[in-house]
Structure 1
Amino acid sequence: MIARADYIEGMAKGMAVLESFDTERQRLNATLAAQRAGLTRAAARRHLLTLAHLGYLETDGSWFWLSPKVLRFSGSYLASSRLPRALQPTLDRLAARTGEGHSAVVLDGDQVVIIARSGPTRLLAYGLHLGARLPAHATSTGRVLLAGKAKAGFTAWLKGRELPRLTAHTTVEPRQLRRIVEQVRQQDFCVASEEHELGVHAASVPLRNLEGKVVAALNVVTRRERVASPVLEREVLPMLQEAAREVRPLL
């Protein structure tokens, strides 16, 4: 926890406004930004204007949208963080071996973030690009990372949380998600089919460091028949688990 005297409220509010932009709302005016960031309209307007002045937003005078300058944050992270650099060679080898898309993903609140990926561009599903943020409850990687939490930590994460329906197959009932996460915790892998996006079938395993802490998840996006037993147990899981053991000393 940060001491109250060290907390810069204005910076926190500005970041809340910046984080209000997402795939659902690419353009915001002051009213919408205020609603999303939990601010008054006047405060949201000042933050929007300041962010536009600094170059992080573009505007036509009424509506605001993200500018390319915000990519400096993700670019700096990907260039300087040890985790993506450590995992990239393994992802490249997996993609070359299978011809399928592979990703390394971390948990950030109620979303997962793709920090490294490799695979044929033609197989890249919509929204599965580097830096993409996906709902944790509806993805195989998210469920693996949630299972990596202590049970009390997962209970706190789930409490009062709305689980949006993204497709007809999405798990949106908290008790059902709790059962799924407990199963993932026991079996140490997860398969999710068409819960986040129709046509997307994925299998994931946890990536642990030498202390046993789950720091990321490794997945493959593949065909429906590849995530069905016995192919899953005979081919897909051994490949992912071998890769997880290979990178463990690097994490």
Structure 2
Amino acid sequence: MGADDPYYVKSVEKTFAVLGAFTPEHPRHSVSSVAAAADLSRAAARRFLLTLCDLGYLSSSGSLFELAPRSLDIGSAFLATLSLPTLAEPHLKALAAELGETTSLCILDGMHVVYVARVAPPRLVHVSVNVGTRFPAWATSMGRVLIAALEPEAREAHLNAVELKPYTPHSVSTLDELRAEVELAGSRGWARVSDELEGGLRGVAVPVSRYGSVVAAANVSLQMHRDPDESLEETVVPLLRSAAQRITADLNIR
């Protein structure tokens, strides 16, 4: 299935390319920047932008456009029908309170992980990661757990499609290194990423399953000054695994 099939509507693809240009890093766009991001002519980009404004999905101020509240409708309907975040949240809250750290649940969507639930203890300074936030899967502990759970052919295809980027000096820099990290995550059943996606932060993740298949990853975000990496398997991983097992148990009775 794809663009060559007779049912395929190119205008729908272009519409979502325009919407997809608006990201946390680039929340406002001009006609020209949307045209470049969506690979459209300037005239076509302008027509799409104005139509989306008329429909309420975008708003404009002068020459700049940004997402409007109605754009939330696209994702909220999906989240409302997804039982996973609802079932996971009480267990994530309990774990966040026990550890005093932020807990999350992510799913794999193509080359990215997407946050579908997130709980931060009140004492923590707010970090701009919310439900719906996406990160490159390869650079996160959640992503490595989820990549490891893919069937061998799909896992290899995913790894071969990764575009490595040095987010920090500690980011994995070669495909062989990444493959080794993913294999380690699969063999021990959990993954740790330290100081790779953002300086000063670590993540630990374990899989969440439904009827024997991994469907998500539960995660704890840790400051670098907390327990040394060597002790996380004894201090954090057992509590995280226990929470993931409770989420899995709830999923399996639905």
Structure 2 partner of 1:51: 52
Deviation at 1:124, TM superposition (A): 5.3
Structure 2 partner of 1:98: 99
Deviation at 1:141, TM superposition (A): 0.8
Pairing 1:70-219 to 2, within 5 Å after superposition:
70-123=71-124, 126-210=127-211, 212-219=212-219
TM-score under structure 2 length normalisation? 0.89
Whole-angstrom CA distance in 1 between matches of 2:120 and 2:45? 40
1:150-192 deviations in Å (ceiling 9; x for gaps): 2221221232432222222222322221221111111111111
1:41-78 deviations in Å (ceiling 9; x for gaps): 32222111111111111113422111222122333333
Whole-angstrom CA distance in 1 between matches of 2:101 and 2:20? 32
Pairing 1:57-76 to 2, within 5 Å after superposition:
57-76=58-77
Pairing 1:19-38 to 2, within 5 Å after superposition:
19-38=20-39
Whole-angstrom CA distance in 1 between matches of 2:173 and 2:23? 21
TM-score under structure 1 length normalisation? 0.90
1:111-158 deviations in Å (ceiling 9; x for gaps): 211111223144256332222212212111111111111222122123
Structure 1 partner of 2:248: 248
Deviation at 1:6, TM superposition (A): 2.8
Whole-angstrom CA distance in 1 between matches of 2:102 and 2:82? 22
Whole-angstrom CA distance in 2 between matches of 1:48 and 1:203? 40
Whole-angstrom CA distance in 1 between matches of 2:160 and 2:39? 20
Confirm whether residue 238 of structure 1 aligns to residue 233 of structure 2.
no
Task: Name the SS of the counterpart of 1:226 in structure 2.
Answer: coil
Percent sequence identity over matched residues?
A: 39
Higher mean displacement: 128-137 or 16-25: 128-137
Aligned residues: 249
> Structure 2: which 5+ residue stretches go unaligned?
none
Task: Name the SS of the counterpart of 1:229 in structure 2.
Answer: helix
Residue identity matched to 2:196 = E
Whole-angstrom CA distance in 2 between matches of 1:204 and 1:244? 9
Task: Name the SS of the counterpart of 2:132 in structure 1.
Answer: coil
- Structure 1 residue ranges, 4+ long, deviating more than 6 angstroms after superposition: none
Whole-angstrom CA distance in 2 between matches of 1:117 and 1:160? 28
The structure-2 alpha-carbon separation of the partners of 1:229 and 1:200, relative to structure 1 and needing over 3 Å to count, comes to same
The structure-2 alpha-carbon separation of the partners of 1:154 and 1:73, relative to structure 1 and needing over 3 Å to count, comes to same
Task: Name the SS of the counterpart of 1:58 in structure 2.
Answer: strand
The structure-2 alpha-carbon separation of the partners of 1:183 and 1:159, relative to structure 1 and needing over 3 Å to count, comes to same
Residue identity matched to 2:95 = L
Deviation at 1:236, TM superposition (A): 1.0
Whole-angstrom CA distance in 1 between matches of 2:46 and 2:155? 36
Whole-angstrom CA distance in 2 between matches of 1:213 and 1:120? 30
Name the Cα RMSD after superposition: 2.0
The answer to whether the 8 Å contact 2:18/2:38 transfers is: yes
Structure 2 partner of 1:6: 7
Structure 1 partner of 2:221: 221
Deviation at 1:87, TM superposition (A): 0.7
Higher mean displacement: 181-190 or 65-74: 65-74
The structure-2 alpha-carbon separation of the partners of 1:121 and 1:108, relative to structure 1 and needing over 3 Å to count, comes to farther
The answer to whether the 8 Å contact 1:144/1:181 transfers is: yes
The answer to whether the 8 Å contact 1:101/1:124 transfers is: no
Deviation at 1:14, TM superposition (A): 0.2
The structure-2 alpha-carbon separation of the partners of 1:24 and 1:96, relative to structure 1 and needing over 3 Å to count, comes to closer
> Structure 1: which 5+ residue stretches go unaligned?
none
The structure-2 alpha-carbon separation of the partners of 1:81 and 1:227, relative to structure 1 and needing over 3 Å to count, comes to farther
Confirm whether residue 42 of structure 1 aligns to residue 39 of structure 2.
no
